[in-house]
């Protein structure tokens, strides 16, 4: 497979996120109805992003039903934390190809008391995992790390969402969860995106009977757009979770059922792995850019560190007066250097030393000196840098040595950014029988062997090798921006490694270029990840800017539109919420009717 085909495959799996209709604002409805007829109409007249009356809050998600769930949580007296949880659990029902309780997530939130927190709900490798578990005859088996029992990491979403709710939610855990359970039981009409994702992934889902039972019809075909998808097993799981809390998932019936399935199907996860799962409350990665405080997520996310690193390289440059070609040139060059460092240095900072010097201003100045203002750098000549104190000053202390983004905010000062994923479409393709829960395939985010690309073409080194209870490296980049200790912006994205570059460009376009929020997200994007030495771009290759970049020596490859960014800003006391404009354009047609 050539790299263009690989990138297009990545885009089709993760960047084309779920949505159904284009309308301006959601219906402020009561709890979701239960009859089939009403379930068919519940997606009508909904929007992806909305601001509550009186600017009391804001929501942006990739699916109108998730946005409605967040709005309903506000209507019940909840705050942005409750709204975020309601949206996240609903996405597990309607956006199951991307997210769900069988996956993991990162949370960056600013609480009403002014504290910024970061909760690591990333999956963990099981106790029996080992460095060479995906090697067969000395070569990495990509199939084993992507599909089936061995691909699964211990999910973290449930515990992380529960802990966020305990930090300051106004509603109870069951109040934010039960609407999603009712929706799973009542059903909803499958949108075109979910139907297309099912069609593309059907052959890999075929071997798993519990998965087919949910997503295939009686003739053995993947469900079509407009079909009402009911998930009674998932509804029961949600009800059990609402009643018993995370213990049901990590130490109760779900853990036991999963362990039993693993034992029968060649897996290595057991009940003790679930019982040992824990979140980590991280120190947010903090950097400064043009007078703003930018908070991101640290390792095992690579996004926070490298967004800070790239912003540091750009800070002080006359970005606002550059031509488009000049600006893109600098963006591409800082991307190359950040991704070269990612491949070498980044991993789970509880297991490997990840230098804090990566986000230092002096290190950024050193890297910036290697960038020619007019000519593209030759990627083969770029290697990882050597940050200051690389052998002594690390993120945290070592203990023993496709994706969805949603965001909410309220007038009390609670701001929440959550990026959550199963990894590639429908994760491992495994549904634990009787639970309705799709399990992730995050083990593919480890390095199966140094230098071997993962599903997104990313290479890595020993820092991201497999080890028991280690968390795989991620590109998820929930981000929060403050000025004078007050929140002004939050954003995050879906799309594998392009998450990092999407967030970077959203920040630059809004903070440095002062573009309106929707335009800041809609501006054509570029992406470079060091290897291969290609610039994936939305720019028309025959256009003036692309020709100018080509003249500088950049190797452009047209990628179509890519990305899935959600953002909220607060300006002059007014909220604005925007869901990825590319999503809106891709889903302008209404849902097709059921036959």
- Answer positive or negative: Cα dihedral of 177, 58, 15, 229: positive
3-state SS, 34-52, equals CCHHHHHHCCCCCCCEEEC
**3-class secondary-structure state, position 447:** strand
Computed on alpha carbons and rounded to an integer, the radius of gyration of the chain in Å comes to: 22
8 Å CB contact between 2 and 448:
no
**3-class secondary-structure state, position 321:** helix
List the 280-282 sheet strands across, edge first: 49-51, 57-60, 404-410, 415-421, 104-110, 116-121, 280-282
Active site residue 366: no
Strand partners, 57: 410
**3-class secondary-structure state, position 100:** coil
- Answer positive or negative: Cα dihedral of 282, 108, 14, 267: positive
Of the candidates 292, 286, 281, which has an alpha carbon nearest to the alpha carbon of residue 305? 286
Cβ neighbour number for residue 337 with a 10 Å cutoff: 25
Distance, CA of 16 to CA of 335 (rounded, Å):
23
Distance, CA of 271 to CA of 258 (rounded, Å):
8
**Distance (Å) of CA 344 to CA 338, 363, 463, 465:** 10, 16, 7, 11
Catalytic residue among 147, 258, 403, 420: 403
Of the candidates 69, 135, 68, 53, which has an alpha carbon nearest to the alpha carbon of residue 410? 53
Distance, CA of 481 to CA of 294 (rounded, Å):
5
Task: Work out whether strand 292-296 and strand 404-410 pair parallel, antiparallel, or are unpaired.
Answer: unpaired
Of the candidates 422, 372, 363, which has an alpha carbon nearest to the alpha carbon of residue 393? 363
Distance, CA of 467 to CA of 464 (rounded, Å):
9
**Distance (Å) of CA 170 to CA 81, 85, 175, 176, 563:** 8, 11, 10, 10, 33
Report CA dihedral (305, 307, 309, 311) to the nearest 10 degrees.
-150
* 173-186 vs 80-94: helix crossing angle, rounded to 10: 30
**Distance (Å) of CA 114 to CA 120, 306, 482, 485, 572:** 20, 25, 10, 7, 19
Q: Before 36, cis peptide (omega within 30)?
A: no
8 Å CB contact between 18 and 564:
no
* 324-345 vs 498-507: helix crossing angle, rounded to 10: 140
So which residues are the catalytic ones? 403
């Amino acid at each position: 497979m050539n790299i263009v085909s690989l990138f297009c495959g990545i885009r089709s799996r993760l960047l084309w996120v779920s949505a159904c209709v284009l309308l301006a604002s959601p219906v402020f409805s009561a709890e979701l109805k239960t009859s089939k007829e009403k379930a068919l109409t519940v997606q009508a007249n909904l929007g992806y992003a909305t601001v509550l009356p009186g600017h009391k809050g804001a929501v942006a998600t990739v699916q109108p039903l998730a946005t409605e769930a967040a709005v309903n949580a506000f209507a019940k007296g909840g705050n942005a934390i409750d709204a975020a949880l309601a949206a996240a659990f609903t996405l597990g029902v309607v956006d199951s190809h991307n997210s769900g309780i069988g996956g993991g997530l990162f949370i960056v939130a600013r609480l009403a008391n002014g504290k910024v927190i970061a909760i690591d709900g990333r999956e963990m490798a099981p106790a029996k995992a080992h460095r060479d578990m995906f090697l067969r005859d000395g070569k990495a088996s990509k199939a084993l790390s992507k599909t089936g029992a061995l691909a699964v990491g211990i999910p973290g979403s449930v515990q992380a969402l529960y802990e966020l709710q305990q930090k300051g939610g106004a509603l109870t855990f069951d109040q934010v969860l039960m609407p999603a359970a009712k929706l799973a039981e009542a059903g909803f009409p499958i949108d075109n995106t979910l139907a297309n994702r099912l069609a593309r992934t059907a052959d890999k889902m075929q071997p798993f009977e519990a998965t087919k039972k949910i997503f295939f019809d009686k003739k053995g075909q993947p469900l079509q757009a407009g079909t009402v998808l009911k998930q009674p097993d998932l509804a029961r799981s949600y009800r059990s979770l609402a009643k018993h809390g995370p213990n049901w998932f990590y130490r109760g019936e779900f853990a036991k059922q999963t362990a039993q399935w693993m034992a029968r199907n060649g897996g290595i996860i057991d009940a003790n792995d679930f019982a040992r799962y824990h979140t980590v409350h991280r120190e947010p990665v903090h950097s400064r850019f043009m007078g703003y405080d930018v908070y991101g997520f640290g390792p095992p996310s690579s996004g926070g560190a490298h967004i800070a690193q790239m912003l540091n390289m750009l800070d002080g440059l006359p970005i606002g007066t550059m031509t488009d070609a000049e600006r893109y040139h600098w963006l591409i060059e800082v991307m190359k250097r950040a991704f070269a460092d990612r491949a070498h240095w980044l991993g789970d900072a509880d297991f490997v030393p990840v230098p804090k010097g990566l986000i230092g201003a002096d290190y950024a100045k050193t890297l910036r000196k290697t960038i020619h203002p007019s000519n593209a750098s030759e990627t083969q000549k770029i290697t990882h840098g050597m940050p200051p104190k690389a052998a002594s000053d690390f993120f945290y202390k070592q203990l023993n040595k496709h994706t969805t983004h949603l965001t909410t905010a309220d007038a009390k000062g609670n701001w929440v950014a959550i990026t959550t994923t199963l990894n590639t479409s429908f994760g491992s393709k495994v549904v634990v029988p009787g639970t309705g829960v799709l399990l992730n395939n995050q083990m593919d985010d480890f390095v199966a062997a140094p230098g071997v690309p993962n599903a997104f073409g990313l290479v890595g080194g020993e820092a991201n090798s497999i080890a028991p209870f280690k968390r795989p490296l991620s590109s998820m980049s929930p981000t929060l921006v403050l000025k004078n200790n007050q929140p002004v912006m939050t954003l995050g994205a879906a799309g594998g490694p392009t998450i990092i570059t999407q967030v970077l460009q959203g920040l630059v376009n809004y903070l440095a270029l002062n573009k309106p929020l929707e335009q800041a997200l809609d501006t054509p994007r570029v992406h470079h990840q060091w290897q291969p030495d290609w610039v994936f771009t939305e720019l028309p290759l025959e256009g003036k800017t692309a020709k100018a970049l080509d003249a500088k020596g950049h190797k452009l490859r047209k990628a179509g539109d890519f990305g899935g960014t959600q953002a909220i800003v607060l300006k002059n006391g007014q909220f604005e919420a925007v869901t990825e404009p590319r999503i809106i354009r891709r889903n302008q047609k209404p849902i097709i009717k059921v036959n």
